[in-house]
């Protein structure tokens, strides 16, 4: 199998490039092959908690060098989406960690404090310091007319303690409290892929998404109108393919098989 017409990849990270802090076999060779073939790439993840610089540092520890412009987390994607649609300097109440708050500040937004009720937008991402006060402030602003942005809809989150609630569960709580449905920026909605393609400057027909989850990475690619590779090194299995009415263009075991296909 060869993928000779690919000029760009949009690559998920967890389950594709690493598992926790363990790099997947072939990681360094994978990036060396992309550069040798002059295949552009953007790393795109639904994780909203980390900044691009934190991902750059993580990959550096694994022996891979990337630029921060080659990384888009869903927190940054939310800020970039707002930059395209919101007036400059709009006020945002964030629920989230560095990956959300830093991205909003770097893109010119003002952040509302607890119990300020004049935010133009509420942006909600994974926040491990989530509190009653943050939920109350978000609810008050949404009820006052703020627009609702969710970084990603993932309802579950794997942790060292087991499977716990993800950002989608918090979005559901706020939607129940306000009756307002959020605009989702992360996968499987196409917005993050569209932002990645703007950076890549490669036609969609020569761009391929690479991920390990059918319900986010692959469905997002389908909605964005691009081809996709499902690797079986993460969440989804071959058996899961029978449960969905869409499919990846290719199924491969891991990035080592991708290396062979793009050579």
What sign results for the dihedral spanned by CA atoms 230, 236, 241, 244?
negative
Euclidean distance between CA atoms 49 and 220, whole angstroms: 20
Euclidean distance between CA atoms 10 and 95, whole angstroms: 26
Residues 5, 12, 53, 254: which is the catalytic one?
Answer: 12
Q: Is 154 noted as a catalytic residue in this protein?
A: no
Could you tell me the CA-to-CA distances from 262 to 24, 30, 66, 152, 201 in Å, in that order?
18, 10, 19, 30, 20
- Please count the residues of the chain: 263
**Residues 6+ away with beta carbon under 8 Å from 160:** none
Q: Is 14 noted as a catalytic residue in this protein?
A: yes
Residues designated as active site = 12, 14
């Amino acid at each position: 199998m060869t993928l000779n017409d690919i000029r760009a990849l949009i690559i998920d990270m967890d389950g594709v490039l690493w598992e926790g802090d363990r790099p997947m076999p072939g990681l360094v060779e994978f990036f060396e092959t992309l550069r040798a073939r002059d295949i552009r790439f953007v790393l795109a993840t639904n994780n909203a908690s980390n900044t691009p610089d934190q991902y750059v540092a993580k990959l550096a520890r694994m022996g891979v060098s990337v630029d921060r412009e080659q990384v888009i987390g869903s927190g940054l994607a939310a800020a970039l989406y707002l930059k395209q649609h919101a007036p400059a300097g709009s006020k945002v109440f964030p629920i989230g960690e560095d990956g959300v708050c830093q991205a909003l500040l770097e893109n010119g937004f003002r952040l509302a404090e607890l119990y300020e009720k004049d935010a133009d937008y509420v942006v909600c991402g994974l926040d491990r310091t989530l509190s009653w006060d943050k939920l109350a402030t978000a609810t008050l602003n949404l009820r006052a007319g703020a627009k609702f942005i969710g970084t990603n809809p993932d309802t579950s989150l794997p942790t060292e303690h087991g499977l716990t609630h993800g950002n989608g569960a918090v979005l559901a709580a706020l939607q129940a409290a306000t009756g307002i449905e959020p605009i989702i920026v992360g996968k499987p909605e196409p917005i993050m892929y569209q932002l990645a393609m703007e950076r890549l400057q490669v036609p969609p027909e020569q761009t391929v998404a690479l991920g390990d989850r059918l319900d986010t990475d692959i469905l997002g690619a389908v909605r964005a109108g691009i081809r996709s590779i499902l690797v079986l090194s993460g969440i989804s299995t071959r058996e899961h393919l029978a449960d969905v009415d869409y499919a990846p263009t290719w199924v491969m075991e891991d990035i080592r098989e991708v290396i062979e296909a793009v050579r």
